[in-house]
Amino acid sequence: MCPRILIVAGSDSGGGAGIQADIKTVTMLGGHAMTAITALTAQNTLGVQGVLPVPAAFVAQQMRSCIDDIGVDAVKIGMIGSVDVAHAVADILDTLDVPVVFDPVMVATSGAVLADADTIAGFERLMRRATVVTPNLPELAALGGEAGILAHGPAVLVKGGHADGDDVIDRLVTTDGEVARWSDPRIDTRHTHGTGCTLASGIAEGLGRGLALPAAIARARRFVRVALREAPGFGAGHGPMGHARVRLDGATAGMVANQVTLPSTDYDASVGFYGALGLSRIIDAPPRYARFEAAGGTTLSIEAMAHDDIGAVVYFEVDDLDAAIARARAAGAVVSDPVDERWGWREALLSDPAGNRLCLYQAGEMRRFPPWRIADA
């Protein structure tokens, strides 16, 4: 399935946030991105130097052009630009029956104000139509807190990136209370431009392909975290993330073959061999284990084994391990119960009819970016 995601947001000339980040996110996750641009901005990693709003009627025309011909499976709303645009977008949303993710953009990462008081007041109609609203903590306060948003009907993903602490905690809240929570170590980087746009578009892509809201959020968060780690380092301020480098990291839908473990009877010889082939060593734990990364994002590990325990293992990363195990068992495969390994992977083993060893697993960023990754690898 290739979900059709209509993105209503502003353009970022620096390519880090806005429509540019949205298109990259939806595309890398496997969806088809369509756009209705609400404003043109002149901006870079240091700030926003200028904003040129797009007339509300033309924003609506862009939306209708996409909807009437291509169709739409989910909508993501970002920067609105004006109260007139807010109402024009809400008018069209009232004619649709698809999930809507509303990222209430008010202030850019650099601190530039992107929504005035009248525009924020116009957010009420958009919140009434949204499936989920994704404010950061300052935006949450401006919209009346959790209760203020919930009063309009949508779920709220309270993002904790602006909070203090070593962990980033995101909470999904509905009128029934907190229904899900995610906590991950904070990634120490200044290249955070576009994190909110990327997360919201990732959620919309997941909802558009039929994922439940918590699953869509979890998948989008994995995408954001790997993109943060893959930031190219551009600019002197808040730089863009590395969307194009999120390839095989457990964020795409379905099953992905992204890791192979091979036996080794001579650690030094194996390390030298795969290094000479051009693979990059990212984990080094002699004399037992090493992991390499190929240019496309696939990883290969060598592991010292006894001669009577030699065998390769092919790893398939899945977005829902329990569901994948159930499907395999329904097909007649004998699959071990899932195990939470100490290295951060959750995995289950099985064999194919020829006896080849396979592993269904979830690792996310722990496959390529565990805390023990070689520095600068």
Q: Are residues 241 and 296 in the same domain?
A: no
pLDDT confidence of residue 81: 87
Say if 224 falls within a structural domain: yes
- The last residue of one of the domains, among 245, 280, 314, is 245
> pLDDT digits over 221-275, tens only?
999 999 999 999 999 999 999 999 997 787 776 789 999 999 998 999 999 999 9
CA angle at residue 26 from 23 to 28, to 5 degrees? Answer: 100
* CA-based nearest residue to 319, from 235, 253, 270: 253
**Distance from the Cα of residue 287 to its chain's centroid:** 35
Domain of 73, CATH number, reads 3.40.1190.20
Q: Are residues 102 and 214 in the same domain?
A: yes
* CA-based nearest residue to 316, from 370, 369, 252: 252
Gap between the Cα atoms of 108 and 125, Å rounded: 22
Say if 374 falls within a structural domain: no
**The tokens of 337 are what?**
């119960």
Q: Are residues 98 and 15 in the same domain?
A: yes
| Average pLDDT of the residues of the chain | 93
Helices (H), 29-174: 56-69, 83-93, 117-129, 137-142, 145-150
DSSP-derived pairing of the beta strands 74-77 and 4-12: parallel
* Residues assigned a catalytic role: 159, 192, 194-197
Say if 177 falls within a structural domain: yes
pLDDT confidence of residue 107: 67
Gap between the Cα atoms of 212 and 206, Å rounded: 8
Say if 373 falls within a structural domain: no
Q: Are 365 and 282 in contact (CB under 8 A)?
A: no
**The tokens of 157 are what?**
């993903």
Q: Are residues 147 and 292 in the same domain?
A: no
Q: Are residues 46 and 92 in the same domain?
A: yes
**The tokens of 310 are what?**
């030699």
Q: Are residues 169 and 26 in the same domain?
A: yes
- The last residue of one of the domains, among 180, 215, 245, is 245
Q: Which residues contact 58 (CB under 8 A, 6 or more apart)?
A: none
> pLDDT digits over 199-212, tens only?
999 999 999 999 99
Q: Are residues 275 and 168 in the same domain?
A: no
Q: Are 75 and 46 in contact (CB under 8 A)?
A: no
**Domains in the chain, number:** 2
DSSP-derived pairing of the beta strands 313-318 and 255-264: antiparallel
> pLDDT digits over 106-129, tens only?
866 655 556 677 877 889 999 999
- pLDDT of 146 higher than 60: yes
Q: Are residues 192 and 78 in the same domain?
A: yes
Q: Which residues contact 71 (CB under 8 A, 6 or more apart)?
A: 4
Q: Are residues 209 and 291 in the same domain?
A: no
The total of other beta-carbon atoms located within 10 Å of residue 9's CB is: 28
Q: Are residues 98 and 136 in the same domain?
A: yes
* CA-based nearest residue to 67, from 100, 40, 39: 100
* CA-based nearest residue to 227, from 253, 181, 194: 194
Helices (H), the chain: 18-28, 56-69, 83-93, 117-129, 137-142, 145-150, 195-208, 213-229, 267-276, 321-330, 365-368
Q: Are residues 183 and 318 in the same domain?
A: no
SS3 content of the chain, % helix, strand, coil (to 5): 30, 30, 40
> pLDDT digits over 150-206, tens only?
999 999 999 988 888 899 999 999 999 999 999 999 999 999 999 999 999 999 999
pLDDT confidence of residue 302: 96
Domain limits for position 130: 4-245
Say if 375 falls within a structural domain: no
Can you list the pairs that 230-234 forms with residues at least 24 positions away whose Cβ atoms lie under 8 Å? 231/189, 231/191, 232/191, 233/191, 234/45, 234/191
- pLDDT of 308 higher than 60: no
Say if 250 falls within a structural domain: no
Say if 362 falls within a structural domain: yes
Interior/surface letters 172-200, b for 16+ CB within 10 angstroms, e for the rest:
bbbeeeeebebebeebeeebbbbbbbbbb
> pLDDT digits over 23-53, tens only?
999 999 999 999 999 999 999 999 999 999 9
* Distance between first and last Cα of the chain: 35
- The last residue of one of the domains, among 190, 222, 245, is 245
pLDDT confidence of residue 331: 94
Q: Which residues contact 63 (CB under 8 A, 6 or more apart)?
A: 6, 8, 36, 89, 92
pLDDT confidence of residue 108: 62
* CA-based nearest residue to 76, from 17, 150, 146, 148: 17
Domain of 318, CATH number, reads 3.10.180.10
Q: Are residues 154 and 95 in the same domain?
A: yes
Alpha-carbon dihedral sign for residues 151, 181, 369, 372: positive
**The tokens of 233 are what?**
């380092």
* CA-based nearest residue to 190, from 138, 224, 244, 231: 231
Gap between the Cα atoms of 39 and 114, Å rounded: 10
Say if 376 falls within a structural domain: no
